[in-house]
Amino acid sequence: MKKLTTWTFSLLALFGSAALVVSCKTDDDGVDPGTVAPVGQTVTVKGTISQNTTWTAGNKYVLEGFVYVDNNATLTIEPGTIIRGDKVTKGSLIVKPGAKIIAEGTAQKPIIFTSNQPIGQRNYGDWGGIVLLGRAKVNKSPATIEGENVSTFGGENDADNSGSLKYVRIEFAGVAFETDKEINGLTLGGVGSGTTLDYIQISYSGDDAYEWFGGTVNAKHLISYRTLDDDFDTDWGYRGNVQYAFALRDPSVADQCSCSDSNGFESDNDASGSEAAPQTAAKFANVSIFIAPGTVNNKYRSAFRLRRNTAVSIYNSVIAGAYPRGGLELEGTATQKNFVDGVADYRGLVLAGVTKAVVAGDSVRLADAARKNQFRPAVSTLGLDAAYNTLGTGIKLLPQSSSTLLTGGVQLPQGFDPVTFIGAFGTQDWTTGWTNWDPQNTEY
């Protein structure tokens, strides 16, 4: 990758065919005075945002190169604001430890991060994505983000607050900065539990949709749509709770890297499977992972690939897709021992459509009746709508009123909403209004 250079923060306002560049100077005391863009302009942002800044819905913003929020600054983004990542410079937004982002859209006015390419020319990995870095504990030191390889994160404050992402869409992110080293749609490094993540849709990510590197941040209402690599990836001691997560895969598209494959979940304690603390021990509840109709790419592997001494737990979740390796893969002696010892738990799982329900792990223990796990039921018996896995605008996510998914779950651990339905949806479609199932053809 190119060596990082230091840029000043600049604004580009477009007046017809004329372009005006406004750069922030620095006062003698080192404080940036800031610049206010005229309303209704396209604003190009590059370099470092080092003081409190607000992006307004009246303007459109373009990220060029690595854009940092640093120096304990807060970047506030108004509901309905559109931010586009530049393809040539691999635009990315990186919120460093101590800084914050407050991006709180609404169901009527979501905040949209998307490609700067025109309709019909958008693709996986058009730009970098969003990286949040905090001061919560991780099990690796020094910890730097893959691809950027510069900014460090992590600390001792598990309650650290990196801000809020709410009703946010992230589209066509996940660019490769180095061979086989991409930034994800949303990368979370050492992010603490004081941070809010709720109602987020990641579409067409060129790497993972979501990846947590340590930290304790909780999340709800997450969507991974047509992701290239893994939907949900956990590493380096991530220990938060995630509830209501939905992934829909395009069967023809998967990660073609020789060192990787595509899974619904991929989870490691660390790359070597060590006993480094804190251990990756996140808990997921009410997850739905579906694959759309069609022949599945040979780079797909498992719905849940849990390996390298991870202790992730999963509850009340449904798989409906032809993963060729299978449903639940507890890979390696250490990962399997975490389950046997009760460090990790798997209950209320419905593994349908897969080649094999339990690829590796104690299948007898997993089949204990009290766990209410269902291995390889016919998808047709689940009571899903006929359009449950339709790519595009025709998707229908709510189970039919007679579906066994609505009542078949187990009691969830403390910290989750006390629901007993299986999968991301009960009787309410929480995707209504703010999502986009066809961002390729949306005029931004």
pLDDT tens over the chain, length 444 residues: 333 333 333 333 333 333 323 333 333 333 343 455 667 899 999 999 999 999 999 999 999 999 999 999 999 999 999 999 999 999 999 999 999 999 999 999 999 999 999 999 999 999 999 999 999 999 999 999 888 889 999 999 999 999 999 999 999 999 877 666 678 999 999 999 999 999 999 999 999 999 999 999 999 999 999 999 999 999 999 999 999 999 999 999 998 776 789 999 999 999 999 999 999 999 999 999 999 999 999 999 999 999 999 999 999 999 999 999 999 999 999 999 999 999 999 999 999 999 999 999 999 999 999 999 999 999 999 999 999 999 999 999 999 999 999 999 999 999 999 999 999 999 999 999 999 999 999 999
Question: What is the Cα gyration radius of the chain?
Answer: 21
Q: Which residues contact 62 (CB under 8 A, 6 or more apart)?
A: 12, 42, 43, 44, 45, 83, 84, 85, 86, 91, 116
Whether 235 is covered by a domain: the verdict is yes
Whether 50 is covered by a domain: the verdict is no
Whether 186 is covered by a domain: the verdict is yes
Whether 302 is covered by a domain: the verdict is yes
Whether 21 is covered by a domain: the verdict is no
Whether 408 is covered by a domain: the verdict is yes
**SS3 letters across 249-315:** ECCCCCCCCCCCCECCEEECCCCCCCCCCCCCCCEEEEEEEEECCCCCCCCECEEEEECCCCCCEEE
Is this prediction's pTM over 0.75?
yes
Whether 407 is covered by a domain: the verdict is yes
Number of domains composing the chain: 1
Whether 49 is covered by a domain: the verdict is no
Domain residue limits at 122: 92-439
Secondary structure (3-state) at 100: strand
